[in-house]
Chain A
């Protein structure tokens, strides 16, 4: 097994085992989206209008939940020191950890989204579009989040700091994600316009995230 696939498999194993936190995100997502109709009331037209925004907000917050442990747990038990002495480039190591995090925390959200969309009155035709925006947009959230997780790695309770660092950077993703999801549900903007911008944001963060996070980790170890 290559170093990077070994790391990917290890992180996914840890995430799905006891205390790993892979399901925390999807449970939080479930709770927020389920409670929204109770809070807003049975106004189906209103729910339908704000449904995509609720789904996206819940997905954004859920993907932040486990993020602060991404490097901190490896830092605390000394694994991060050893990972740095590996021969795999740190940027790729960070990207592999990000991919493992996305697969274990964001993919369950994407899978749960169609079911939760029903709660918010999103009809079947629009479901596919909303789910597609989440599938394409959540990697951007994870890879931007890598930067915050790497900066806060040495802090014992860095969770809130990670959120403060990461949330402003995720605003463009949120705007275009919700815009594309809204376009899928109601129009009148064509779906493709905001969706291509969302794709571009994701591609950019896939490149920038690992480099920035690796640089932060190198500084942290000083």
Chain B
């Protein structure tokens, strides 16, 4: 399985966020997307996830299930945790496991792995931000999908949580999965390619600014 992107561009609200982004990701490889705030890290992940249409370029998957789109073979872990406060921790995860199908491990095993099994019956309204994030991560473990799209996955996790997440990511890669992660460098992934959205666009960004500054 290989994820290819050639010359991807992204336009949001009429403004070019980035262009000319290319990468090639093989089985068992990770891509760390870096860049300043607003460089388009989240937008790139959302393009790969099929939520927004690319402004240009091509994106395709070799060797995946031809019947399914990339989005249907990918886990998306965004800034929002998709946790319903009135459902219990267990019910939240149970729903996603049932909805997506393709169980990898049982729901309570996934909760055990992220350290939430003791509060499985608690309504999710009482969870802290870090615990909600752990619950989202449990979704990646409970449902088997080859591509993980992680948008700053470690942002609300404590040190132990970050270590656990790194372990999950390593074992996903070891099983031949693909990971695209937007990060500020807090994730320690061995053998990750790095894609910086900064250098490519710095010249374009200043070009776009100059006429506005020159105007009286």
Residues of A within 8 A of B (CB): 1-3, 5-7, 9-10, 13-14, 17-20, 76-79, 81-88, 221-222
Contacts and interface: CB of A to CB of B under 8 A. Distances in A.
Contacts of A18: 86
Nearest to B136: A78
Interface residues of B, number: 28
Interface stretch (B30-38, B77-85, B176-184, B186-194): B77-85
Nearest to A1: B98
A91 to B, nearest CB: 16
B86 A14 contact: yes
A84 B84 contact: no
A13 B87 contact: yes
A77 B52 contact: no
Given A3-B101, A13-B91, A221-B51, A85 B84 contact: no
A78 B51 CA distance: 12
Interface of chain B: mostly helix, strand, loop or mixed = loop
Interface string B129-148: 00000000000000000000
* The 7 nearest A-B residue pairs measured at CB: A78-B80, A6-B98, A17-B86, A78-B82, A79-B82, A1-B98, A85-B71
Contact of A84 (B51, B68, B81, B85): B51
B78 A78 contact: yes
Contacts, number: 74
7 contacts: A77-B82, A79-B84, A82-B76, A83-B99, A85-B74, A85-B76, A222-B53
B40 interface: no
Interface of B: 49-53, 68, 71-72, 74, 76, 78-87, 91, 94-96, 98-101
A6 B99 CA distance: 6
B81 to A, nearest CB: 7
Nearest to B78: A78
Contacts of A76: 80
A77 B81 contact: yes
Given A6-B99, A85-B50, 7 more contacts: A9-B95, A10-B87, A13-B87, A78-B78, A78-B82, A84-B50, A222-B52
B74 to A, nearest CB: 7
Nearest to A87: B72
Given A82-B76, A221-B51, A222-B53, A87 B101 contact: yes
Contacts of B49: 81, 85
Contacts of B68: 87
A30 B99 CA distance: 36
Contact of B99 (A7, A13, A77): A7
